[in-house]
Amino acid sequence: MRILGIEGTAWAASAAVFDYDPDDPAPLDADPPVIETDAYQPRSGGIHPREAAEHMGEAIPTVIESALDAADGPIDAVAFSRGPGLGPCLRIVGTAARALAGSLDVPLIGVNHMVAHLEIGRYGAGFDAPVCLNASGANAHLLGYHGGRYRVLGETMDTGVGNAIDKFTRHVGWSHPGGPKVEASAEDGEYVDLPYVVKGMDFSFSGLMSAAKDAYDSDTPVEDVCFALQETIFAMLTEVAERALSLTGADELVLGGGVGQNERLREMLATMCADRGARFYAPDPRYLRDNAGMIAVLGAKMLAAGDTVAIEESAVDPNFRPDQVDVTWRADEGSVAVAPTETPERRGAEAVVTVADDRVTKRRIPKPYRHPELDARLRRERTVAEARLTSDARRVGVPTPVVRDVDVAEATLTFDPVGDRDLGAALTPNRARTVGEHLARLHRAGIVHGDPTVRNVRVGGRIYLIDFGLGYHSGHVEDHAMDCHVFGGSVRGTATDVDATLAAFEAGYADTGDDAVLGRLRKIEERGRYT
């Protein structure tokens, strides 16, 4: 089958033709799609939706014609980027796709742009069930296949990674796109401290970008700010990717999105995966930036699964979330989540935990992908926070391990053992309800856990909360709601009876905590920042 793909979510007017045999798929490099792209370049600042749409209207017919001229034979279907993206651009692409599918009398396929970033990487790698880190201009999130859909394991809480970098470069006075300019400037820079904000597998860039602008305005050399930006932002993305691998038990990671062209990010992710024995795949840069090749590749898989759309039902969706997509082309495949096993020594996302002689020793290991100064700071701060908050939580009635020893210099803690398995291996609605009650008690005392996933709850005679390394003191409803959001994300990415489990969790929280927290949780869920 021969698929014409059309991409036009923001800046890239692109068309591609892809030959695909579902019975004998060739490796991507052996039979790559033919891609024609005409990228929009803003006159100043960032992407202007009106200008981008004008460019799309002029360029789409040309790139389609060029791609069709390069095709060796008739087209069997037309696939197009249905969203997420800029509405004016999407509508132009949708209109062109409908018109072409109608004139050729072939099926029409509406593709989610972000899932296409994932799928072309998975196809190129040959991976079965990877975690995918999407790092693009307007998006930054982690996805994993579970229960028939790609679940959002973690996401930005404010802005996409590329847009965050562009905000700094516009402040400096550099033209769009800013990412390559930051990468070039960073080659001559030295490290300076900037805020590092990770909340479970979620993360935030707003405070970091404000600090970077302030540093530049305070005469910190721009190359030093750029160096620190890369070291901080990409370390955050690499850390949450490792947290997702640890949560799910997956051993494959795929990179997607235009920011994935950055060599330092690719290096960090490759180092992290090699260090934990996972496989890593980063597509060729032409498949990372927005391109119609990925639309055609996913369109071919969807066509083979019979997943087409009627023209009258093919409206574009600027807020088309990746977890709204029914993944029909993977219906018979397993989940990214692997059942955890209990062993005397376990490696999590940032520490090695050893159980011996009725003691649990947890050592935060150095992360070779992080800058040494940043790594030392995080290991020290998180060790101190975990020791203090584990004890604080016990004092307000939440079951936690007893802390027996703290060695800040070695980033090592010693605890009494608790439970006999993680909650992820024994999740029930009743146990989730108890977790809700525990978090509510913490929040009433002004304590934020920071990373309350199903891997950081232990089950035994009681339900224990562990691993307070990302925790802190706060009475703010937003911080408390983020704790609930992190727990919910871990359940959606790993559990089977998700609705009943989360309903029980929220009921437990409501019985003990502040109703305003659950109200704020709804607002966090509605933000859809990664779209």
pLDDT of res. 45? 64
Q: At 413, is the pLDDT very low, low, confident or very high (cuts 50, 70, 90)?
A: very high
Catalytic residue among 202, 224, 323, 451: 451
| 320 token code pair | 């088309």
Note the pTM of the prediction, 2 decimals. 0.95
Topology of domain 2-113+287-330, per CATH? Nucleotidyltransferase; domain 5 (3.30.420)
Work out the burial of residue 380: count CB atoms within 10 Å of its CB; fewer than 13 is exposed, 13-18 middle, 19 or more buried: middle
Residue 106: phi and psi, rounded to 5, are -125, 160
pLDDT of res. 340? 66
pLDDT of res. 335? 85
pLDDT, tens digit (0-9, with 9 covering 90-100), for 46-90: 677 788 889 999 999 999 999 999 887 899 999 999 999 999 999
SS3 call for 13 = strand
Q: At 96, is the pLDDT very low, low, confident or very high (cuts 50, 70, 90)?
A: very high
The question of whether 451 is a catalytic residue gets the answer yes
CATH 1.10.510.10 maps onto the chain at 339-531
pLDDT of res. 339? 64
Q: At 29, is the pLDDT very low, low, confident or very high (cuts 50, 70, 90)?
A: confident
CATH number of 339-531, picked from 1.10.3430.10, 3.30.300.130, 3.30.1490.20, 1.10.510.10: 1.10.510.10
Per-position DSSP letters for 483-510, written without gaps between them: HHHHHHHHHHHH-SSHHHHHHHHHHHHH
Distance CA 145, CA 236 (A): 22
pLDDT of res. 530? 41
Distance CA 145, CA 492 (A): 10
Q: At 334, is the pLDDT very low, low, confident or very high (cuts 50, 70, 90)?
A: confident
Q: At 44, is the pLDDT very low, low, confident or very high (cuts 50, 70, 90)?
A: low
Indicate whether 531 pLDDT > 60.
Answer: no
Average pLDDT, the chain: 94
pLDDT of res. 528? 57
Closest CA to 465 of 380, 514, 394, 414: 394
Class of domain 131-285: alpha beta
Indicate whether 139 pLDDT > 90.
Answer: no
**Mean pLDDT of the region 433-461:** 97
CATH 3.30.420.40 maps onto the chain at 2-113+287-330, 131-285
Closest CA to 371 of 243, 250, 236: 236
**Mean pLDDT of the region 409-418:** 97
